[in-house]
């Protein structure tokens, strides 16, 4: 199971579990026959304990709208890379680099998107700002020239 958020499955995982095609599961969600669907980023998550819908839908019943933010504290506790970038005033690429470097704790991959805990603070900038390395190339060149002349 790719999904690491407890209690939820991706639409693809749901289709495999129920023995249906992905398109059929998407149509069931669209028709409101799957209750408690949550959208995280652009991935739809289905509650893992949801039963496969059976029979025909009552045509007079209005479809239920899916939640963009779930009732579960676990799903609500995450933000996407894009949301983290906006919150921390960084580019999404920089946030990905911080994630790859292991500077962001608690990152979860759901499908093909990464989720970061909402309460995670912006990682400190670890770049050297003291000026110690300013002009190091020029100094490096001077030491090499002295060795070659002598």
- For the segment 75-90, the average pLDDT, to the nearest whole number, is 87
Structural domain including 135 reads 77-150
Q: Are residues 147 and 82 in the same domain?
A: yes
Residues 145 and 100 in one domain: yes
Do 29 and 85 lie in one domain? The reply is: no
Of the residues 12, 40, 70, which one is the last residue of a structural domain? 70
pLDDT of residue 71: 39
Provide the CA 34 distance to its chain's centre, in angstroms: 23
Write down the residue that tokens 């070659």 correspond to: 148
Q: Mind listing the pLDDT tens digit for each residue in 34-82? A: 888 888 777 888 888 888 888 765 544 444 433 334 334 456 678 889 9
Can you tell me the distance from the alpha carbon of 109 to that of 5, in angstroms, rounded to the nearest whole number? 9
Rounded distance between C-alpha atoms, residue 73 and residue 53, angstroms: 25
3-state secondary structure of 106: coil
How far apart (Å, rounded) are the C-alpha atoms in residues 94 and 116?
Answer: 14
State if pTM tops 0.75: no
Indicate whether 24 and 63 sit together in one domain.
yes
Number of domains the chain contains: 2
What are 121-146's pLDDT values in tens digits?
998 887 767 777 777 777 776 655 55
Spell out the alpha helix ranges (H) of 3-135.
Answer: 11-18, 22-30, 73-76, 81-88, 92-100
Round to whole Å and give the CA distance between 128 and 13.
45
**pLDDT for 2 beyond 60:** no
Out of 70, 100, 129, pick the residue that ends a domain.
70
pLDDT, mean over the chain: 77
* Pairwise pLDDT comparison (75 vs 92), residue with the higher score: 92
**Are 86 and 64 in the same domain?**
no
Report the alpha-carbon distance of residue 106 to residue 8 in Å, rounded: 17
**Tell me, what's the pLDDT at 56?**
65
């Amino acid at each position: 199971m790719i999904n690491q958020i407890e209690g939820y499955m991706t639409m693809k995982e749901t289709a495999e579990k129920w023995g249906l095609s992905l398109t059929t599961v998407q149509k069931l969600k669209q028709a409101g026959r799957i209750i408690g669907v949550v959208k995280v980023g652009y991935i739809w998550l289905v509650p893992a304990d949801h039963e496969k819908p059976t029979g025909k839908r009552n045509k007079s019943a209005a479809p239920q709208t899916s939640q963009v933010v779930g009732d579960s504290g676990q799903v609500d506790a995450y933000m996407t890379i894009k949301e983290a970038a906006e919150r921390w005033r960084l580019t999404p690429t920089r946030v990905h680099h911080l994630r790859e470097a292991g500077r962001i704790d608690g990152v979860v991959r759901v499908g093909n998107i990464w989720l970061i805990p909402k309460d995670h603070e912006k990682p400190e900038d670890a770049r050297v700002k003291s000026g110690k390395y300013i002009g190091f190339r020029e100094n490096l060149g001077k030491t090499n020239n002295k060795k070659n002349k002598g």
